[in-house]
Structure 1
Amino acid sequence: MSPKPLVLALSLAVSTVTPAVAQDHSHGHAQTAGSISAEATDAAATVDAFHAALKAGDTSAALSLLAPDVMIFEEGGAERSREEYASHHLASDAAFAAASDATVSRRSGWADGDVAWITSEGRTTGQFNGRAVDRLTTETMVLKRHADGWRIHHIHWSSRAPR
């Protein structure tokens, strides 16, 4: 499996995340440890929407939540724009998201003015391209508030096999 689907494991994990605070972003999923500040709840909802769009195969919706100059770091590689991501890994990330199951064990988020960061830890399992998937995942997303809502400006995905 290429590194991109392994990192998407984290993406899937975030799509099932719920912060363990008064605001409920669970969308029917189990609670997770961590906390999302009140100022960051809308940013966390944007992260959730991004992962839900990937899982549903709605790549247009996923792209709409990324800033044009988004930087995506994964497994030592980088994609330096929304267009680069769309032309390289978006389709495989969506396919991986649809084929695997993810949970988030911990999520935290903070905002300061128009900038927010959301961090998540989780596990992704399932089958992809005829191979078993079992990865522990981490994700950091940095978002900026725009006139029409929060947009993702940076993603850093990482995953590893469980010990």
Structure 2
Amino acid sequence: MMKAPALDLPADGGGRVSLQALNGPAVVYFYPKDDTAGCTREAQDFTALAPEFAALGVTVIGVSKDTVAKHERFKAKHGLDVVLASDEDGAACEAWGVWVEKTLYGRKYMGIERATFLVDAEGLIRRAWRKVSVKGHAQEVLEAARAL
């Protein structure tokens, strides 16, 4: 098991979210962009299961390079109930290894790999999902969280 990289970012609601300050398990999911089809679905799926994650004491944190203001509009528009953290400079994406080369229509570019990490209360990554397919993903993460 690997120690989770530091995560201390500005979040919606004007505060900050810090893995180190949580003192409990967390789901950290990285996604490309607010208000796009896959990212919206993923956030809605995690929101639907938010009470179950909360009952386990697990904080769900979504991270993208969108601004806090964009996150707040995204949450309000879709009634989301997860913490959204802003990694505008991309330092967290780099540290977590999700800033990767992608290809779209034959064009290569750098972007955020859709990835999820389950971090235990000691700050260890217990499970990592890379190149996530959204359908059923939040439920699968919840099952893994139940096994912590």
Whether these two folds match at TM > 0.5 is: no
| TM value normalised by structure 1 | 0.28
| TM value normalised by structure 2 | 0.30
